[in-house]
A and B are shown apart, each in its own frame.
Chain A
Amino acid sequence: MENFEFISPITIKGAVSQYKKGANNYYLAGGTDLIVLMREGILVPEKIIDLKTAGLPSGIKKLKTEIRIGALATLSEIEHSSFIRKEIPFLAEAAGKLGSPLTRNRATIGGNLCNASPAADTATPLIAVGAKFILSDGKKERRVKAEEFFKGVKQTVLKKGELLKEIVIPRSAGKGIFYKKSRIKLVDLATVNMTVYREKKKYRIVIGACHITPLRIRAAEEKLNKAKKIDLALINETAEIVVKTIKPISDMRGSAEYRKQLVETHVARLIGELAGVEV
């Protein structure tokens, strides 16, 4: 690993201004993606700006109408939070299926999202539950919907230096299910992952690792939302729409064709489980 300058700012403003001073500076949260890339020589940062000292929120807050998760909350915290497990169990499950316990003790939810992998495990539950992300450039804050945050592989709406500060999740009585297929049950990347969410008979379907970003499939949702009765035929038609919408690639973890077959079967199963239909 090459030498780099390590900076511990004490404010978000300080972090952003340090970041903007060069073209090759990186924020450090948990470091579980960054350090691997540095070790492989893929990234050679000039400055590493540690966000853990910069006054970013870290915990999980239960408010009356919303839940707030600080960007620096670790995946372990989310996985084990009794509150998250009760209220958004599919998010706790997704967090708990990322990497190994060692990784989850370091890795942050902010890092998982800003790394913007199409397979990011925490992305599909947050999009499905209608989360919003609070972004900060040290001076101003803005809110974006989780589903609008991702722009491409490793690309987000974040402007240069801008940070993900906090995640806001509306409290609701909806029910969601997260599913992840990987080659081994733990310590693996997703071949596909997905969340199907239902609230007041309205569905949200979000598929991961099958497109340049995690993808919400609105046409499929509408099919379900418009239906008077959800039966097996409708579920299969919905799953077909999902498969036609996604554009998976073939890689080490599975071929595009295999991914499509996994999505078709599992999205139908998740819808069936929420709708109480045997699939």
Chain B
Amino acid sequence: MKNFINLGRDVNRLDGYDKVSGNAKYIADYEFPGMLYAKVLRSPHPHAEIISINTSAAEKMEGVIAVTHSGKCSHKMGLYLVDRPVFATGKVRFKGEPVAAVAALTEDIAAAAIKKIKVKYKMLPLVDNIEDALDKNATLVHPDLMKYSYLPIYYPKKGTNIFNHFPLRKGDIKKGFKQSYKIYENEFTLPQIQHVPMEPHGAIAKWDRNDKLTVYSSVQSPFTLRNLLRLAFGLSHKDVRVIAPYVGGGFGGKAGINMEPLAVALAKEAKGKWIKLIFSREEVFLGTTVRQAMRARVKTGIAKNGRIIAEEIEMIFDGGAYAEYGTNVVRAAGYTCIGPYDIKNVKGDTYGVYTNHLVGGAFRGFGHGELHWAVESQMDIIANDLKMDPAEFRRLNVLKPGSINSMGEKITKHTGDMVACIDAVAKDLKWGKPSKKPAKPYIKRGKGLAVLEKAPAMPANATSCARVKFNEDATVIVQFSGMEIGQGCITALTQIAAERLKMDVSKLHAAGLPDTDFSPYEWQTVASRITWAVGNAIINAVDDAHEKIKKVASKVLKVKASQLDIDGEKVFVIGNKGKSIALPLIIMGYQYPDGHTIGGPVEGVGTFTPHLTNLDAKTGQGHAAAEWTFGCEGAEIEVDTRTGELKILNLVGAFDLGTVINPSTARGQIIGGMIQGLGSAVLEELKYKDGKIANPSFVDYKIPTAADLPDKIKHIFIQTPDDGGPFGARAIGEHPMISIPPAIANAIYDATGVRIKALPLTDEKILSSLKEKK
């Protein structure tokens, strides 16, 4: 390990004071003079034609300022596939879809006005699941699919509900199965789940009479939001300004574009007025995106020595009523489809299909929680059938230096150490030794583990920019537009800047809340990429500032710039530290004794672009992963076989996250992710009845509380430096959530012999599976 002055250190969160004191402002806290308040009318039906919309009674109400719907605002939006109208147009495609919106003097008036809008519907056949969507005579949710615009890296299928098909072909699958000693085939499923961020979504918009648009939003991606708003509403980037306050949790649910256009559409009708739209918790359930449901079929061929030599995997994602962002979930799951395994012959087909369900989108894990649920359950089934130790089976088959992964990338020793992650988890779980005997004979204990990998899922042109600005006293302001969504990026990025500046972090201030008019460009705060990508941009920005300082200093000290170095306090001649200039004397320009001044205020600008390529359309081969993070998660559990009650005794996760920038916030990310993974494993499920969500609130959509946490929960850092990451750091944001479900399912199998292939692993499901086994 290198000797760092600011890294590997528990620097207190720089947003900590704001957040614990109540000083931090969130979208709902903003109030402006003359503000109007908005409410949205939502579709009561999952699939219906809109015959007519009558808003006259609402418009006549005192205090109602603007009413809008598809008749006035027919814009479409979408990051990857532009298929989603701001307001349902012609038909509604899911229960909860916005049909109209009202802006009024008060929220109560807006709420009352919404009820006066009369909409006539004619029911359409319901596409209620993946099977309905793929039926030969399926009702098409989007008959005009091929007319939509989309990036050329996606493959919608004409005349079907398939909005993207990602094929992956590697080696010779037929030959692989032919050579196999044993072949296993299984099906796994999981339901839609909600992000349930603590802060509900909200936006405030003003459309000035000179057609300048300003939007405040609870957003993960201010610049991408600006771009998509401008595309939807036909404006120039220069005329759209997005300001992003603190965000109270995103988890993917505030990525891309969400509910902002609803506020903007009203702002356009009431020019010059601020329009505030804050979702209720119920609207977060009904009107924002969710993690897609999935069905996977996995067929695996094994050689006599236990090596996997062939795998065929078909994953079908229920993308809901609109694909837009979810299109890329399909692609990301598709190119990682076999997980972190070295398999010579692979056939992968990953599909996204339209249904009349809630809109699927980005969700922590981005397809990887889904694919690892299938793959890591499958691996356990195989290992157990082969009577091999499941940890040993994985050690034998996972990616190692020299391996070629699913899309043909070569793994090196810098990619990360998967085996070390498995070893660390096995050691913590006392793998191979039976669990302590429970007090009662009907209580069964078991252990399970599951590996994982993920790369940032992003297009090849996802770029970052950062700036460092010196102040007169040689303190530094760092500017970037990675969003602080709770993950601690403001702190980590400032530590990286300080390290490169060779200054203590206390000399820096992070201007970390973006305003697109003033802040450097950032693609999106998604894909676990901010510390990694923006960290690199910051290093380049510091280097740029240092070059500028050296350029001036070389004139003053009459040496070549290459002979100079900079520490936190001065610029000096290498080998002669006495010959130097203190930074405060140069960072605003150097003034000679006679008064004349050279140089000027020092600002460094740095950018970062990952080196990626598009993937081959037929084989999915290419280079889509800027870096990988490997990990392994394990669980020890007990099951009361009389009631199905599951108790988590121990959860452990080991991740090769490269250089740890801030151990405390990294730990927070890992533990938080593991607990979110626990929720998705044992509790969370959006349930449909007749195409309508039956549990759109916390009454019946349950996430773990503090009381539901495991007796023990542990994180382990493996630190193989990433040669492309800032000071060797790599991504960790999403990964801890990914393989908790299969680790727990595998432990349940170990304890009881019952294999559950459909999430969530509820007590009731465990009990009924135990009964079936008997």
Contact = CB atoms under 8 A, between A and B. Distances in A.
Contacts of B704: 184
B682 to A, nearest CB: 9
Contact of B702 (A183, A262, A266): A183
A43 to B, nearest CB: 16
Given A252-B694, A261-B643, A189 B707 contact: no
Interface in A9-34: none
A184 B764 contact: no
Interface in A63-92: none
B695 A252 contact: yes
A188 interface: yes
Contacts of A1: 108
A39 to B, nearest CB: 9
A258 B683 contact: no
Residue with the greatest number of chain B CB neighbours at <10 A, chosen from A186, A187, A254, A257: A187
A145 interface: no
Interface in A136-186: 181, 183-186
A183 B683 contact: yes
Nearest to B643: A265
Contact of B683 (A184, A252, A257, A265): A184
Interface in B666-697: 683, 687, 694-695
A253 interface: yes
A255 interface: yes
B705 to A, nearest CB: 5
B702 A254 contact: no
Interface string A108-145: 00000000000000000000000000000000000000
Nearest to B442: A265
Interface in A233-279: 252-255, 257-258, 261-262, 265-266
Contacts of B705: 184-187
Query: Taking chain B's interface residues, is the majority helix, strand, or loop, or is none over half, making it mixed?
Result: loop
A186 B762 contact: no
Contacts of B708: 184-186
Nearest to B640: A265
B700 A266 contact: no
A85 B68 CA distance: 58
B683 A189 contact: no
Contacts of A181: 643
B642 A265 contact: yes
A212 to B, nearest CB: 20
Contacts of B698: 187
A93 B763 CA distance: 23
Residue with the greatest number of chain B CB neighbours at <10 A, chosen from A189, A265, A266: A265
A261 B702 contact: no
Given A188-B702, A252-B687, A252-B695, A266 B643 contact: yes
A265 B702 CA distance: 24
A189 B764 contact: no
A252 B694 CA distance: 8
Contacts of B694: 252
B51 interface: no
Contacts of A255: 764
A139 B708 CA distance: 48
Contact of A184 (B687, B707, B768): B707
A271 B605 CA distance: 73
Contacts of A184: 683, 702-705, 707-708
A242 B277 CA distance: 52
A187 B108 CA distance: 29
A266 B704 CA distance: 23
A186 B695 CA distance: 18
A41 B700 CA distance: 18
Nearest to B760: A183
A99 B334 CA distance: 42
B699 A189 contact: yes
Nearest to B641: A265
Nearest to B111: A1
Interface in B730-774: 762-764, 767-768
A70 B708 CA distance: 33
Contacts of A189: 699
Contacts of A254: 764
Given A185-B708, A189-B699, A253-B700, A261 B767 contact: yes
Contacts of B762: 183
A17 B131 CA distance: 59
Contacts of A265: 642-643
B327 to A, nearest CB: 32
B643 A185 contact: no
A187 B644 CA distance: 21
Interface string B686-729: 01000000110011101111111000000000000000000000
Given A183-B683, A186-B705, A258-B768, A252 B700 contact: yes
A252 B643 CA distance: 18
A97 to B, nearest CB: 10
B59 to A, nearest CB: 21
A184 B700 CA distance: 10
Contacts of A257: 768
A188 B108 CA distance: 30
Nearest to A183: B702
B162 to A, nearest CB: 32
Nearest to B764: A258
A2 to B, nearest CB: 8
A187 B708 CA distance: 11
B643 A262 contact: yes
Nearest to A265: B642
Given A252-B695, A253-B700, A266-B643, A186 B764 contact: no
Interface string B629-644: 0000000000000111
A253 B762 CA distance: 11
A253 B706 CA distance: 20
Contacts of B767: 258, 261
Contacts of B644: 258, 261
Contacts of B703: 184
B714 to A, nearest CB: 21
A266 B642 CA distance: 9
Nearest to A185: B707
B334 to A, nearest CB: 34
Contacts of B768: 257-258
A1 B107 CA distance: 10
Contacts of A188: 702
A185 B710 CA distance: 12
Nearest to B280: A39
A13 B704 CA distance: 45
A41 to B, nearest CB: 9
Contacts of B695: 252
Contacts of B687: 252
Contacts of A185: 705, 707-708
A253 B700 CA distance: 7
A254 B768 CA distance: 12
A262 B702 CA distance: 20
A262 B768 CA distance: 12
A186 B700 contact: no
A266 B762 CA distance: 18
B42 to A, nearest CB: 13
A33 B444 CA distance: 40
Contacts of B643: 181, 261-262, 265-266
B157 to A, nearest CB: 36
15 contacts: A181-B643, A183-B683, A183-B702, A184-B702, A184-B705, A184-B707, A184-B708, A185-B708, A186-B705, A258-B767, A261-B642, A261-B643, A261-B644, A265-B642, A266-B643
Interface of B: 108, 642-644, 683, 687, 694-695, 698-700, 702-708, 762-764, 767-768
Given A183-B762, A252-B694, A252-B695, 10 more contacts: A181-B643, A183-B702, A184-B703, A184-B704, A184-B707, A188-B702, A258-B767, A258-B768, A261-B644, A265-B643
**A-B residue pairs, 10 tightest by C-beta:** A185-B707, A252-B700, A258-B764, A265-B642, A186-B707, A183-B702, A184-B702, A186-B705, A184-B708, A265-B643
